[in-house]
Amino acid sequence: MTTNRVRKGVIRGRMAASGESYVVAARRMTVPRGSKAPDARTAAALATRYWEPAESLDLPCPCGGTCAPGERCTRCHATYRHAARIPGSDTDVELWQDRYDCTGCANTYSFTVSLPDRPWGAVQTVPQRGGREPIVRIKPFEGIGHPNLPA
Ligand SMILES: [Zn+2]
Ligand SMILES: [Zn+2]
């Protein structure tokens, strides 16, 4: 059973999105009757999206995915660390944008990574009548907080 891990991931996602404490987020997470519980893919996406940056560069980055910290800042020569990850595209659910912050000054930079096994949303193909091209809809998973797309 992965239910407990999935649940914790969702709660953490809620905390990060809403600023609620763990207890409050857990209490408010009760799923209304008749609606489906968050699935494992949603939980994986939330875990990819919401985490606290590592306190020390000696520790593995908590993003759990491919990231490349360790660049040196050209201004202060301190090291950059992975600070945040958000959906990095409006059309490709596998693209995420990683932000790196300098640990010594306010310098920051971002770039896009592809995580094929960690999509931030689902792709739905809606068939059209009259032989027209089907419409492709991108739907971010619940709680993902896409910067451009509605939930
Ligand atoms: Zn990372
Ligand atoms: Zn710096």
pLDDT, position 32: 42
The environment of the single-atom ion ligand 1, i.e. residues with CB closer than 5 A, is 61, 63, 67, 82
For residue 39, what are the contacts with CB-CB under 8 A and spacing of at least 6?
6
**Ranges of residues in the chain whose predicted pLDDT is under 50:** 1-2, 31-35
Ligand 1 center to 31 CA (angstroms): 31
Ligand 1 center to 101 CA (angstroms): 11
Domain assignment of residue 148, yes or no? no
Domain assignment of residue 149, yes or no? no
Ligand having the closest approach to the CA of 71: 2
Ligand having the closest approach to the CA of 82: 1
Ligand having the closest approach to the CA of 74: 2
d(CA 1, CA 106): 43
Domain assignment of residue 151, yes or no? no
pLDDT, position 70: 76
Pick from 40, 50, 45: nearest CA to 1: 40
Domain assignment of residue 145, yes or no? no
Residue range of the domain that includes 41? 3-140
**In a 3-state reduction of DSSP, which class is residue 53?**
coil
- pLDDT tens digits for 57-96? 888 899 977 798 778 999 999 999 999 999 999 999 999 9
pLDDT, position 54: 87
pLDDT, position 150: 85
Ligand having the closest approach to the CA of 66: 1
pLDDT, position 14: 67
pLDDT, position 6: 60
Number of structural domains found in the chain: 1
